[in-house]
Amino acid sequence: MSRFFSAKYANLTPYTPGEQPKDTQYVKLNTNESPFPPSPNAIRMAAEAAANLQLYSDPECRDLVKKAAEVFQVAEDEILFTNGSDEILNFAFMAFCDESHPVVFPDISYGFYKVFAALNGIPYEEIPLREDFTIDPKDYCGIGKTVVIANPNAPTGIVLSTEEIEEIVKSNPDNVVIIDEAYVDFGGESVIPLIHKYDNLLVTGTFSKCRSLAGGRLGFGIGCKELIGDLNTIKYSTNPYNINRMTMAAGVGTLMDEDYIRKNCQTIMQVRQWTVQQLKALGFVLTDSKANFIFAMHPQADGKEIYLRMKKKGVLIRHFDTPRLRRHNRITVGSKQQMEVFLEKLNEVLEELL
């Protein structure tokens, strides 16, 4: 670091994104992107919006908010769009956490939670998952701190039920509970309807996964209008024009093509189930993932070695080199063709290792 870097960030460990290598053509199953292109209307409307890039985008995202409110069945003042769901999460940490309102989240979850806490100087606690990688809802009930839970969780893909989440929200009336639903469209159940019952619930989501806009960077938060008002205060104090014209237009187009999106989700879930069956036949142990990825380990093979050998064979998967995760790998569910290549190369790796 330079001699000018602020001492308050000297010990900050930044988030490590999934690899985006350019050295060769990979079957890319490491960052949970969709194998499907954006919807037809998303592509068309983004291209049309490019003609006016000399003009600032609408800071209120009015067309996008109007369409999203219709799709998600919320009021227009109950939703806020951001530059990816990372931005809405950071806004929430800034708005609802401080020294008097520390934050808690699982010890195995989305790695950015810890970074956001450290970045904003917020005391945080990581609550260990059970041995089977499930979250114990009782650990969060009545805890009296800001709660952040990814549901389905990452990288495990395991879900909590709506009833379990509601109990957490209900038992912490004086603290905000943030439910990160980045992967909810692949078999989970959204708790967005609960925002009309609890004023301390914020649900975040992304267009990166099921809606095929990872490169567009579009996320959102949904909660009561007072919570959204707080988050807008943060937005307008940092970057009012946080959504560019092309992404905003693509978002509207995507929401116009919900049938296309739902069909793709169903296909991914079917391919996930087929891949799980193949992996079990090879001796892998897996969690019950309801996301667009699989979390797997082989009792007789080292997870990091599998990852490294698969990379050499042109298939990227995600390995987390931490004590509880190093035997596992997270595998994005791609197209059927991509998963067939993955399994072909995996069989080769297992023959080499076993």
Report which of 58, 38, 76, 89 is spatially closest to residue 260, judged by C-alpha positions. Answer: 38
Indicate yes or no: pTM above 0.95. Answer: yes
CA distance 204 to 211: 15
Q: Order of strands across the sheet with 285-286?
A: 285-286, 293-297, 328-332
CA distance 80 to 60: 9
pLDDT at 85 over 90: yes
CB 303 within 8 A of CB 343: no
pLDDT at 76 over 90: yes
By mean pLDDT, which of 2-6, 17-21, 74-78, 130-134 is the weakest?
17-21
pLDDT at 23 over 90: no
Mean predicted confidence (pLDDT) in 32-36: 97
Annotate 153-199 with DSSP letters as a single string.
-TTT-----HHHHHHHHHT-TTS-EEEE-TTGGGT----GGGGGT-T
pLDDT recorded at residue 27: 96
Tell me the pLDDT tens digit for each residue of 137-191: 999 999 999 999 999 999 999 999 999 999 999 999 999 999 999 999 999 999 9
Distances (CA, A) of 169 to 145, 176, 293: 11, 8, 27
Q: Which helix (H) or strand (E) holds 352?
A: helix 336-353
Mean predicted confidence (pLDDT) in 13-41: 90
Mean predicted confidence (pLDDT) in 317-339: 97
Tell me the pLDDT tens digit for each residue of 247-287: 999 999 999 999 999 999 999 999 999 999 999 999 999 99
Q: Which helix (H) or strand (E) holds 147?
A: strand 146-150
**Longest Cα–Cα distance in the chain:** 60
pLDDT recorded at residue 225: 98
Tell me the pLDDT tens digit for each residue of 86-145: 999 999 999 999 999 999 999 999 999 999 999 999 999 999 999 999 999 999 999 999
Cα three-residue angle 290-296-300, rounded to 5 degrees: 160
pLDDT at 16 over 70: yes
Residues in a beta bridge with 42: none
Reading the block at residue 190, the tokens are 């959204």
